[in-house]
Structure formats: C-alpha cells, structure tokens
C-alpha cells in the first residue's frame, strides 16, 4: 500500500519518516526556491539575508501550481 507521499507502508507501524534535505542552489539571485518532491529535497539559492529567504519562500509557496493536475 502506498501513502499520499509515495512511501510504502510496512506491515507493523508503517515506514519511518522520509529523509528531508535542503540543498544549495547557487548564489543569491532573483530565482525562487524549487524542490524535487520525489527526493524530498528543497533547493535554496544562497540568499544574503534571512528576510530575503523568507520572502522568496513565501512567494514560491503562494504561487505553487503543484503538478498541474487540476
């Protein structure tokens, strides 16, 4: 049986939580963060300030289109 996250459940208690990672995606730029959902990886440009990181993350989340299956 697969969960909504594509993780196979084990018979007793389910599978352990998937490993999540954040990875550098180059120098600070106007690019938004991206992700590889199949690998549970968040790609973050090296923003110069936390405020810029927070702003770019909010923009990416608020404008996400998912997989376009709507």
Kindly list the catalytic residues. Answer: 38
Angle at 38 between CA 33 and CA 18, to 5 degrees: 100
Cα–Cα nearest to 43, from 31, 58, 30: 31
Whose tokens are 């389910």? That residue is 14
């Amino acid at each position: 049986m697969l969960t909504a996250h594509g993780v196979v459940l084990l018979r007793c208690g389910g599978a352990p939580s998937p490993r999540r990672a954040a990875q550098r995606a180059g120098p600070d730029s106007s690019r938004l963060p991206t992700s590889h959902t199949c690998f549970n990886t968040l790609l973050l440009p090296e923003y110069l300030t936390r405020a810029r990181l927070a702003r770019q993350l909010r923009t990416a989340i608020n404008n996400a289109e998912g997989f376009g299956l709507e």
